[in-house]
């Protein structure tokens, strides 16, 4: 088996929701409802920076899902996945002003935006934050989203990755359209920007025709950090080609190790150093000072869950209407047009536990991916086990409720990871690429490494 060396310390991202989050979590007594308040997000950012997290990561969705029962009702009633989501770039700009080191990742779809718009928006965030921006690249998959962008149906899977590949080529050309020293700002000359160092890209392809240049200088990081979560075979190739960081979820250590090994090997086949591809599985830890405290938290959270609140979100992720299947029978074997990784995860959980669909719904609404539950020592043990087994380069930490679960993780788990020398005590460097031990790419590097 191929072995890939790590630098000895893991990375931590935070999976933050610009909205109510988990269906049971927003009802939890310690949860706060400042979803429309700028100070709510600033405070989360400051908590994460105090915990020396690499980045805050915002998922996004471009519709209120109606896949379950062909209705928005279950999403809105239970405060599920897409009931409320603020636009992430604007939230991250506020968080940038409240922090100095924390990386800032926004989800943007290659199916419903244009390359110039995203290249400009992410470059703006990278400049305003001093080189801390990241872009989570999604291709989207729901017809509900298509119908919010003047289309009747979504682009088929293979076609949307064709579009995404060209989209990434165009954004990189736009980021490279200014040489690093093009902005002069010489008042005496006068010379604001050197015209011979700012060039149009004149791109013409199957999906896009873009003249350029970008009207923003090259980003401080060269290219912002790129995040992807492709789970299908084509999605994995796309992630191995373009991503600096992969976000994924796993039910077991075994599946996480297999995925990590496969993705590192795919990256090598694209001519990349496998160490430059960071894999951060999503976990939702439940921590307490004692096992009794943890058990009580788990009981309270479970009592707040309705099965439909999880099934409506799983229906969205799979792009399958699960309302047509009996709640007392197992999750059926399905051909999934949506996110195959989420289906594989819940299929594994359902098969191993013999769970009926109702319990799958409860589990999905209040998942404990990887079973990271217990005292700070127990959770640190589990994280260390995954990290040293080669399952990951770190973790994307989600919160059952916001912002309190992030506070608890920073207060209880981070010091234990630091005591074991598994996680930094201070930031080194100033950019997100510095945090992730990634070199700043030179102009044109994307062509050399991705073909």
Tens digit of pLDDT for each residue in 276-334? 999 999 999 999 999 999 999 999 998 998 889 889 989 988 889 999 999 998 888 88
**394: nearest Cα among 360, 359, 422, 419:** 422
For residue 449, what pLDDT is reported? 66
Instruction: Determine the Cα angle at 316 with ends 312 and 322, to 5°.
Output: 55
Q: At residue 338, does pLDDT exceed 80?
A: no
Q: At residue 1, does pLDDT exceed 50?
A: no
**Cα gap 244→135, rounded to integer Å:** 10
For residue 3, what pLDDT is reported? 39
For residue 247, what pLDDT is reported? 93
Q: Is 168 helix (H, G, I), strand (E, B) or coil?
A: helix
The counts of H helices and E strands in the chain are: 17, 14
For residue 432, what pLDDT is reported? 98
**Cα gap 374→352, rounded to integer Å:** 22
Mean pLDDT of 23-28: 88
For residue 318, what pLDDT is reported? 87
Pairing type for strands 11-16 and 245-248 reads unpaired
**Between 191 and 316, where is the model more confident?**
191
C-alpha torsion 120→124→126→129, nearest 10: -170
Q: At residue 179, does pLDDT exceed 60?
A: yes
Q: At residue 349, does pLDDT exceed 80?
A: no
Mean pLDDT of 370-394: 96
Q: At residue 357, does pLDDT exceed 70?
A: yes
What is the per-residue pLDDT across 52-95, written as a single tens digit (0 to 9) for each? Answer: 999 999 988 888 888 899 899 898 998 887 889 999 999 999 99
Q: At residue 143, does pLDDT exceed 80?
A: no
Q: Crossing angle for the helix pair 307-318 and 340-353, nearest 10 degrees? A: 140
Q: Is 30 helix (H, G, I), strand (E, B) or coil?
A: coil
Give, as one character, the DSSP assignment of residue 351: H
Q: Cα dihedral sign for 366, 277, 86, 15?
A: positive
Instruction: Give the phi and the psi of residue 204 in degrees, each rounded to 5.
Output: -135, 115
Question: Are the C-beta atoms of 342 and 249 separated by less than 8 Å?
Answer: yes
Q: Is 279 helix (H, G, I), strand (E, B) or coil?
A: strand
Mean pLDDT of 378-400: 97
Average pLDDT across the chain, whole number: 91
Q: How many CB atoms lie within 10 A of CB 116?
A: 18
Q: At residue 355, does pLDDT exceed 90?
A: no
Confidence band of 7 (pLDDT split at 50, 70, 90): low
Q: Copy the structure tokens of residue 290.
A: 């004692």
Q: Crossing angle for the helix pair 357-365 and 307-318, nearest 10 degrees? A: 90
Give, as one character, the DSSP assignment of residue 333: P
**Cα gap 142→152, rounded to integer Å:** 11
Give, as one character, the DSSP assignment of residue 430: S
**93: nearest Cα among 133, 53, 147:** 133
Question: Are the C-beta atoms of 370 and 253 separated by less than 8 Å?
Answer: yes
**Cα gap 258→360, rounded to integer Å:** 24
Q: What is the CB-side half-sphere exposure of residue 158 using CA atoms within 13 A? A: 0
Give, as one character, the DSSP assignment of residue 69: G
Mean pLDDT of 40-45: 97
Return the percentage of the chain with pLDDT > 90, whole number: 69
Confidence band of 5 (pLDDT split at 50, 70, 90): very low
With a CB cutoff of 8 Å and minimum separation 6, the contacts of 217 are: 123, 127, 178, 182, 183, 193
**Cα gap 128→94, rounded to integer Å:** 10
**123: nearest Cα among 218, 32, 54, 202:** 218
Give, as one character, the DSSP assignment of residue 185: E
pTM of the full structure: 0.92
Question: Are the C-beta atoms of 19 and 83 separated by less than 8 Å?
Answer: yes
Q: How many CB atoms lie within 10 A of CB 146?
A: 19
What is the per-residue pLDDT across 409-443, written as a single tens digit (0 to 9) for each? Answer: 999 999 999 999 999 999 999 999 999 999 999 99
Long-range CB contacts (within 8 A, 24+) of 36-43? 36/86, 38/94, 40/403, 41/16, 41/91, 41/94, 41/95, 42/94, 42/95, 42/97, 42/98, 43/98, 43/403
Instruction: Determine the Cα angle at 429 with ends 387 and 437, to 5°.
Output: 35
Instruction: Determine the Cα angle at 84 with ends 165 and 395, to 5°.
Output: 55
Comparing 52-56, 353-357, 387-391, 431-435, the range with the smallest average pLDDT is 353-357
With a CB cutoff of 8 Å and minimum separation 6, the contacts of 141 are: 154, 157, 160, 319, 337, 338, 339
Q: At residue 254, does pLDDT exceed 90?
A: yes
Q: At residue 2, does pLDDT exceed 50?
A: no
Question: Are the C-beta atoms of 318 and 341 separated by less than 8 Å?
Answer: no
Mean pLDDT of 357-386: 91
**288: nearest Cα among 362, 419, 378, 366:** 378
**101: nearest Cα among 185, 12, 36:** 12
Q: How far apart are the first and last CA of the chain?
A: 25
């Amino acid at each position: 088996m191929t072995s890939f060396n790590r630098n000895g310390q893991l990375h931590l991202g935070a999976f933050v929701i610009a909205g109510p989050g988990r269906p049971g979590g927003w009802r939890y007594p310690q949860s706060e409802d400042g979803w429309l308040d700028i100070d709510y997000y600033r405070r989360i950012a400051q908590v994460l920076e105090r915990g020396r997290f690499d980045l805050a990561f915002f998922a996004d969705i471009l519709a209120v899902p109606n896949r379950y029962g062909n209705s928005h009702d279950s999403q809105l009633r239970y405060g599920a996945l897409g009931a409320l989501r603020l636009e992430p770039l604007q939230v991250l700009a506020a968080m940038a002003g409240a922090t100095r080191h924390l990386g800032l990742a926004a989800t943007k779809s290659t199916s419903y935006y244009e390359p110039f718009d995203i290249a400009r928006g992410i470059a703006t965030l990278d400049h305003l934050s001093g080189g801390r921006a990241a872009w989570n690249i999604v291709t989207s998959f729901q017809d509900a989203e298509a119908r919010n962008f003047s289309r009747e149906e979504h682009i088929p899977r293979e076609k949307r990755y064709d579009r995404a590949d060209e989209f990434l080529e165009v954004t990189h050309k736009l980021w490279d359209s200014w040489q690093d020293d093009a902005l002069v700002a010489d008042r005496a000359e006068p010379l604001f920007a050197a015209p011979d160092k700012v060039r149009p890209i004149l791109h013409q392809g199957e999906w896009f025709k873009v003249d350029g240049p970008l009207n923003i200088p090259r980003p401080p990081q060269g290219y912002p950090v790129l995040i992807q979560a492709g789970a299908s075979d084509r999605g994995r190739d796309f992630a191995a080609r373009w991503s600096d960081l992969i976000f994924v979820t796993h039910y077991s250590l075994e599946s996480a190790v297999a995925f990590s090994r496969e993705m590192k090997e795919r990256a090598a086949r694209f001519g990349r150093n496998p160490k430059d591809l960071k894999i951060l599985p999503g976990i939702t830890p439940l921590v307490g000072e004692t096992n009794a405290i943890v058990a009580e938290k788990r009981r309270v959270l479970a009592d707040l869950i309705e099965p439909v609140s999880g099934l409506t979100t799983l229906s969205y992720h799979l792009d399958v209407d699960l309302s047509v299947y009996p709640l007392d029978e197992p999750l059926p074997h399905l051909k999934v047009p949506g996110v195959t990784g989420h289906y594989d995860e819940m299929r594994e959980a359902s098969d191993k536990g013999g769970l009926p669909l109702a319990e799958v719904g409860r589990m999905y609404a209040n998942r404990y991916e990887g079973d990271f539950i217990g005292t700070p020592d127990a959770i640190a043990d589990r994280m260390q086990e995954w990290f040293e087994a080669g399952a990951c380069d770190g973790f994307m930490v989600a919160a059952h409720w916001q912002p309190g679960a992030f506070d608890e993780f920073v207060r209880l788990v981070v010091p234990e990871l630091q005591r074991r020398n598994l996680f930094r005590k201070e930031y080194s460097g100033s950019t997100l690429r510095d945090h992730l031990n990634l070199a700043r790419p030179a102009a044109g590097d994307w062509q050399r490494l991705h073909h």
